Structure 1
Amino acid sequence: MINNQAPAAPPVRDDAPPVTGSAAGRVAVGLLLLAFAGVTGLFAPLLVMASDNCFEGDARTICSVGGQQIVGTLPVAAAVVAALLTVVGMGRSGPVGRGCLLAAPCLLVLSWVVSYAIAGS
């Protein structure tokens, strides 16, 4: 005998929260960014040594006092600000947290680019 009256399937609910990233993902990305900020703060200022081959009257930017100060302090300041942005991004969810976690590497890369541009000129 065949039963033509199968039990009705339960209705499908769409009450699941949207997937926007997890706290573990924010922490993992944050730890990588903190490591990048540490490397930037420790090693990028060493680009000042590009001024070792400067001689009197050299017109390159790295041979000026201002250029050397920028190359020496910009990466350290960028690393501190990026570390603060990373900590805020790790602690907050939503657009503010994502914005902070996106701004931190942009700031660090910008400091490397500016430092290399001055050291290489």
Structure 2
Amino acid sequence: MINDQAPAAPSVHGAAPSVTGSAAARFAAGLLVLACAGVTGLFAPLLVMASDNCFEGDARTICTPGGQQLVGTLPVAAAFVAALLAVVGMSRGGPVGRGCLLAAPCLLVLSWVVSYAVAGA
């Protein structure tokens, strides 16, 4: 016996938000941050060469061993931390991923600003 009075199955709507766009954007932003971290880690320590024109008794910060150490190591450390933040940002979604992807370039810019300030002062 066929029951024509059976309720129809509820319809399924394909209105789920697209995850592909946000994942692709996170990946692209992460790759860009990784590239900037690589450039920072390779080239920013070369600012130590600003101490080439130092002479005996020069009071500039770049002419002190501490200033040279700061300009040499700060960008490398910042690049390493920024690369870690970029990888976390690419792999995690939501506010944690966005926060990591926003913090990484800020850290790189801060390391460049401090290095230029010490090298140019």
TM-score for both structures, normalised by structure 2 = 0.84
Structure 1, gaps ≥5 residues long: 1-12
How far 1:18 moved relative to its partner? 8.3
1:54 is matched with 54
How far apart are the structure 1 equivalents of 2:17 and 2:32? 27
CA RMSD of aligned residues (A): 1.5
How far apart are the structure 2 equivalents of 1:38 and 1:80? 9
Question: What aligned pairs does 1:6-85 form with structure 2 within 5 A after superposition?
Answer: 16-17=16-17, 22-85=22-85
How far 1:17 moved relative to its partner? 3.4
How far apart are the structure 1 equivalents of 2:28 and 2:86? 11
Deviations, residues 43-79 of structure 1 (Å, cap 9, x unaligned): 0000000000000000000000000000000000000
Equivalences, count? 107
Runs of 4+ in 1 over 6 A off after TM superposition: none
2:117 is matched with 117
How far apart are the structure 2 equivalents of 1:100 and 1:50? 32
SS at match of 2:58: coil
1:96 is matched with 96
- Which amino acid in 2 is paired with 1:87? V
